Chains A and B, each alone.
Chain A
């Protein structure tokens, strides 16, 4: 645990010098080490979706309780995926090992472990591919020393364990892919590797249990419908105290204009809860002022999709609820909350997997008349696109002064940045509700953004050393603006970020808080009929309302 490792101790371990010797020789000595790995998936969570080889097992034990023919299963699995995914096939073939990606990975920068260089992470699998699926590899197998010379290796249990360890040290952030001259995307390779692991029951619990919960109960946290409603009503009570206005939302309202879906983390964990309250305020405002009817759903109460970290099929199974619920409720289109990987799934996968959504309308903001042509087919709009449009048309009454105590910077979440390109919308919203905004250094933001270190299902508690190491590049950039401009708030549009960056700040940059963009919107938005606010959504005094000492 990072609790046992101080920031200075963690920094002292960093060395980018790389080892000497042949990396393939170190496979046997790979130690699956506490603090760096996540616990194995519980059998019952694997069973919920009927995925293979549900059983109790432990990564640090010798016997992983694999099926006898696991090598055959993986071999077939690779073969099928090479045919189904051109990405996978090309990425296995064309890497020239130029090393441009090597020092772009936050896990490499934070650990100095050479096997965290994206190229080498991919080579773990590529070495097996070369051995078993290429003509050259098959010839070299028969020549003494040939495998070694070709960098090829058979899929042994040690190789499998090494792959498992390192493909769960990748957060699928795609930063390496920006720098690769052939666009090789390690996220895609990690996705394939994890899909292969799931064929023989090697998921981690921090992914498998949320997936199981989401499938059965509707959200990752397993919040049951009545409890979900209770939690939002609890926020409504707080908001009434703060604003004097009743912001009660709709649930499962048939015939509403818009279905709203956000990650359940916003309902459950601070500081996401404040972002959630921001949504409630916004929807109340739009209802009272313009008659816009937004509904929540307890069935589709999860925007996030940990199925994406399991397999394409599991992703599709969880994602199907969004369109199904929109169709059942008869809404016009869907609005999505602030979340990272949720938006990669919606933007690049949803329509293809579960579309066409011909029962929905092309999204139009009835208040501004803006037609979201960029979402004409998927029919789902990002809330910062929606809010930016409202602000641009002067449809929101905002009091920036209520955020005057916030000196902001913005963390681009990996998926909206590199799997979508949602960069300026959140910045526009932040600048419209807060006067103090400073960017972090250019090579750490926008398409060059660094991961929080906890994405793709790695935000567990038991792998804290890994998470804090991976968080280092982001923390370094944040510390820079904290010291230079006095930045005290890190804005973000991702639920995992809101949880993970909070831990990051506590560990690396203790004086900075994390806030979702719509928390700031909620603070600034002047509700019709509200009382004079003295507290922000965190129930802390607004600027100018601090009690006299």
Chain B
């Protein structure tokens, strides 16, 4: 059981060490140029292939999960978002799903009260929603902040985001909230997997691996910014080299940076082959992104085919005598 998380944990450590020592051994060009390019290619190609694969599959039936009152009689109030019958309604439903994790917000927790009443007791369970939301938004902000390394001059909007992220103005260099929240939320999600019996039971190594990987990325990043310090000018020279396709390897960047970059590269390359593709899948899920209008408008199944049926004529032929005797109407008397 423990191997489900010990192996991913060991793997992340190993990856860290490989890059850390490798870069020190003169393989900077490999970890600083070859791997990042390969990772980005793997990410883009993999992502596109996966999404095209989904899109290539048919949507034979419109089967939205309806989570509210349908549109029927004019005086019955429809729930336009949770049971949309228009494209606008579907759009709003998807917007809320993608940006606020609306379905997760509904989460409840069931407990069986053995002693008092022998009843199932439900309570609102908000922590998964909070943890997931914190994790995803913190990750997004961290990612966007890093565009300062890939743009010159740094766009206003990135500078503004940085200012907002550093609003607490603690320490020097100023503390970014996003990094702290990301690390804390990742730890929470990890703890949930390890200590909630049900979630532990369903978890696979592939659930732990991305969490450890992201923790590794956050730890190396935080350590470079606040503790070990690195040559930011050198790093920017290198990252700008990567985006302008004229890669350079400046001296004195340090193994920690290469380890950070390597873990990020692994995350990107691993992404399309993993459950992380829920990023793309959430947009295409037919139970959420279709309108509940199937009785009002005909949906066409591209592979609909004819099937043998038991016709009325077969039926009447079979039962004619009995039907006539019972006084039921028949098409043919004989």
Q: Which residues of A contact B (CB under 8 A)?
A: 8, 11, 14-23, 50, 82-90, 93-100, 102-104, 109, 112, 114, 117, 119-120, 123, 134-136, 149-151, 174, 177-185, 188, 215-216, 218, 224-226, 229-230, 251-254, 298-299, 312-313, 316-317, 320-321, 324-325, 328, 346-349, 351-353, 355-356, 370, 372-378, 380, 385, 388-389, 392, 417-425, 428, 441, 443, 446-448, 472-473, 476, 479
**A374 to B76, Cβ gap below 8 A?**
no
Which of B3, B79, B308 is close to A421, meaning CB atoms less than 8 Å apart?
Answer: B79
**A84 to B62, Cβ gap below 8 A?**
no
Query: In the complex, what distance in Å separates the CA atom of A36 from the CA atom of B190?
Result: 35
Q: How far is the CB of B175 from chain A (nearest CB, A)?
A: 29
Which of A83, A375, A421, A448 is close to B58, meaning CB atoms less than 8 Å apart?
Answer: A83
Task: Tell me the nearest residue of chain B to A103, going by C-beta.
Answer: B110
Q: Which of B150-158, B224-232, B249-257, B289-297 contacts A (4 or more CB under 8 A)?
A: B289-297
Q: How far is the CB of B75 from chain A (nearest CB, A)?
A: 6
Q: Which of B13-21, B258-266, B279-287 contacts A (4 or more CB under 8 A)?
A: B279-287
Query: In the complex, what distance in Å separates the CA atom of A169 from the CA atom of B307?
Result: 29
**A424 to B328, Cβ gap below 8 A?**
no
Chain A residue contacts of B318, Cβ below 8 A: 216
**A95 to B275, Cβ gap below 8 A?**
yes
B237 at interface, CB cutoff 8 A: no
Which of B63, B122, B277, B322 is close to A226, meaning CB atoms less than 8 Å apart?
Answer: B322
Which of A251, A353, A422 is close to B329, meaning CB atoms less than 8 Å apart?
Answer: A251
Q: How far is the CB of A104 from chain B (nearest CB, A)?
A: 8
**A420 to B70, Cβ gap below 8 A?**
yes
Interface membership of chain B positions 180-211, coded 1 if the CB is closer than 8 angstroms to chain A and 0 otherwise? 00000000000010001111111111110000
Task: Tell me the nearest residue of chain B to A94, going by C-beta.
Answer: B281
Query: In the complex, what distance in Å separates the CA atom of A254 from the CA atom of B85?
Result: 35
Q: A22-B1, A100-B107, A181-B97 are in contact. Are A93 and B281 (CB under 8 A)?
A: yes
Query: In the complex, what distance in Å separates the CA atom of A16 from the CA atom of B63?
Result: 31
Contacts between the two chains (Cβ within 8 Å), count:
318
B311 at interface, CB cutoff 8 A: yes
Chain A residue contacts of B319, Cβ below 8 A: 224-226
Chain B residue contacts of A370, Cβ below 8 A: 73
B333 at interface, CB cutoff 8 A: no
**B199 to A97, Cβ gap below 8 A?**
yes
Query: In the complex, what distance in Å separates the CA atom of A113 from the CA atom of B162?
Result: 49
**A251 to B328, Cβ gap below 8 A?**
yes
Q: Which residues of B contact A (CB under 8 A)?
A: 1, 3-4, 7, 50, 53-63, 65-73, 75-77, 79, 82-83, 85, 97, 101, 103-104, 106-112, 114, 118-120, 122, 128, 132, 192, 196-207, 273-275, 277-278, 281-282, 284-288, 292, 294-301, 303-304, 307-312, 315-316, 318-319, 322-323, 325-329
Task: Tell me the nearest residue of chain A to B205, going by C-beta.
Answer: A149
Chain B residue contacts of A103, Cβ below 8 A: 108-110, 198
Q: How far is the CB of B200 from chain A (nearest CB, A)?
A: 7
Q: How far is the CB of A382 from chain B (nearest CB, A)?
A: 8
Other than A17-B197, A85-B60, give 15 A-B pairs with Cβ distance below 8 A.
A16-B198, A18-B201, A20-B197, A100-B103, A103-B198, A117-B202, A177-B287, A185-B65, A229-B328, A351-B294, A372-B72, A418-B66, A419-B66, A423-B69, A425-B73
Looking at B60, B63, B311, the one whose CB has the most chain A CB atoms below 10 A away is B63
**B198 to A97, Cβ gap below 8 A?**
no
Which of B65, B73, B273, B304 is close to A136, meaning CB atoms less than 8 Å apart?
Answer: B273
Chain A residue contacts of B197, Cβ below 8 A: 17-18, 20
Which of B57, B75, B298, B312 is close to A377, meaning CB atoms less than 8 Å apart?
Answer: B298
Q: A18-B201, A90-B284 are in contact. Are A182 and B278 (CB under 8 A)?
A: yes
Q: A97-B203, A100-B107 are in contact. Are A320 and B307 (CB under 8 A)?
A: yes
Q: How far is the CB of B329 from chain A (nearest CB, A)?
A: 5
The 4 closest A-B pairs by CB, nearest first: A421-B70, A94-B281, A226-B326, A183-B287
Task: Tell me the nearest residue of chain A to B294, going by C-beta.
Answer: A348
Q: How far is the CB of B177 from chain A (nearest CB, A)?
A: 24
Task: Tell me the nearest residue of chain B to A382, going by C-beta.
Answer: B72
Query: In the complex, what distance in Å separates the CA atom of A133 from the CA atom of B106?
Result: 33
Q: How far is the CB of B41 from chain A (nearest CB, A)?
A: 16
Chain A residue contacts of B322, Cβ below 8 A: 224-226
**A181 to B101, Cβ gap below 8 A?**
yes
Q: How far is the CB of A179 from chain B (nearest CB, A)?
A: 6
**B295 to A299, Cβ gap below 8 A?**
no
Q: A83-B58, A347-B294 are in contact. Are A374 and B71 (CB under 8 A)?
A: yes
**A375 to B295, Cβ gap below 8 A?**
yes
Query: In the complex, what distance in Å separates the CA atom of A97 from the CA atom of B209?
Result: 13
Q: A90-B281, A229-B326, A419-B66 are in contact. Are A389 and B73 (CB under 8 A)?
A: yes
Task: Tell me the nearest residue of chain A to B299, going by C-beta.
Answer: A352
Q: How far is the CB of A446 from chain B (nearest CB, A)?
A: 8
Chain A residue contacts of B101, Cβ below 8 A: 181
Looking at A88, A90, A188, A472, the one whose CB has the most chain B CB atoms below 10 A away is A90
Q: How far is the CB of B14 from chain A (nearest CB, A)?
A: 14
**A216 to B328, Cβ gap below 8 A?**
no
**B66 to A351, Cβ gap below 8 A?**
no
Chain A residue contacts of B56, Cβ below 8 A: 83
Chain B residue contacts of A428, Cβ below 8 A: 76
**A94 to B278, Cβ gap below 8 A?**
yes
